[in-house]
Amino acid sequence: MLEIKNLHARVAETGVEIIRGLNLTVKDGEVAAIMGPNGSGKSTLSYVLAGREDYEVTEGEILYNGQSILEMDPAERAASGIFLAFQYPMEIPGVATMEFLKVAMNAQRKARGEDPLSIPELMKRVKHAAGELSMDLAMLKRPLNVGFSGGEKKRAEILQMKLLEPKLCVLDETDSGLDIDALKIVADGVNQLRSPDRSIVVITHYQRLLDYIVPDAVHVLYKGQVIKSGDKSLAYELEENGYAGIIEEAA
């Protein structure tokens, strides 16, 4: 699904290198967790995958189903099935959540060569998915993310993910700011999306989330590189001992 080889990426404006020779493979159907200290480059990696123009790839490869995505713009990447749930979801004033979902879903359908959904069918799907996430339907009328609480924003991200049915999902700290019940609801939402032809990358600081979304692989990012990979036991080891030992080992 995803193969990243010797990736180097820097901040376009300043030239500061953040991703420094990163290698990562995520197989079809796999749920991979990415952990790592603050500032290690986790969010930057997700932005580079999504194609954000503030970052420049200077070396290396990102292969998505065997094809390089480096020349694709963010819209083309989204159309090809790459979805990023942001650590800090953007507020979109003036665009009702329902309207946003309609445009996004129909754009995705168009990219797959499917007809747009009728309004009743669209409303039905959105309401059903929102209900599964225990979201208040009144929120669908409000501008996307504007005035949403932290947890509501995270649920809105998962709602988009459920409805857009992406192939490669990247969730950046979707657990932060969620109460215990919401954490379970969001994790259930992610687990429902697990499928042999979909891969999910979960960026998180806490083992707790991984009790609900059990990963097939865990990767530790440090200073823009993957310094250790393992199975879910690696997350327990980190929870117990912190990063110091692993960083020392890699040095």
Binding site for ligand ATP (CB under 6 A): 11, 14, 16, 18, 36, 38-44, 54, 87
Contact (Cβ atoms closer than 8 angstroms) between residue 94 and residue 143: yes
Could you say whether residue 40 binds Mg ion (CB under 5 A)? no
Site for Mg ion in 67-96 (CB under 5 A): 87
Closer residue to Mg ion, CB minimum distance, 131 or 150 = 150
Could you tell which of Mg ion, ligand ATP, none binds residue 16, using a CB distance below 5 to 8 A set by kind?
A: ligand ATP
Closer residue to Mg ion, CB minimum distance, 87 or 199 = 87
3-state secondary structure of 81: coil
CA 105 to chain centre: 17
Could you tell which of ligand ATP, Mg ion, none binds residue 11, using a CB distance below 5 to 8 A set by kind?
A: ligand ATP
| CA–CA distance, 235 with 188 (Å, rounded to integer) | 20
Closer residue to ligand ATP, CB minimum distance, 97 or 204 = 204
Q: Which helix (H) or strand (E) holds 203?
A: strand 199-203
Closer residue to ligand ATP, CB minimum distance, 18 or 69 = 18
| CA–CA distance, 52 with 122 (Å, rounded to integer) | 29
Could you tell which of ligand ATP, Mg ion, none binds residue 97, using a CB distance below 5 to 8 A set by kind?
A: none
- Amino acid residing at 205: H
Tokens (6 digits) for 14: 């300043």
Could you tell which of ligand ATP, Mg ion, none binds residue 251, using a CB distance below 5 to 8 A set by kind?
A: none
Among 32, 41, 43, 48, interactor with Mg ion by CB under 5 A: 43
Nearest CA to 4 out of 24, 33, 27 is that of: 24
CB of 175 to Mg ion, least distance (A): 12
| CA–CA distance, 236 with 162 (Å, rounded to integer) | 29
Which residues contact Mg ion (rule: CB under 5 A)?
42-43, 87
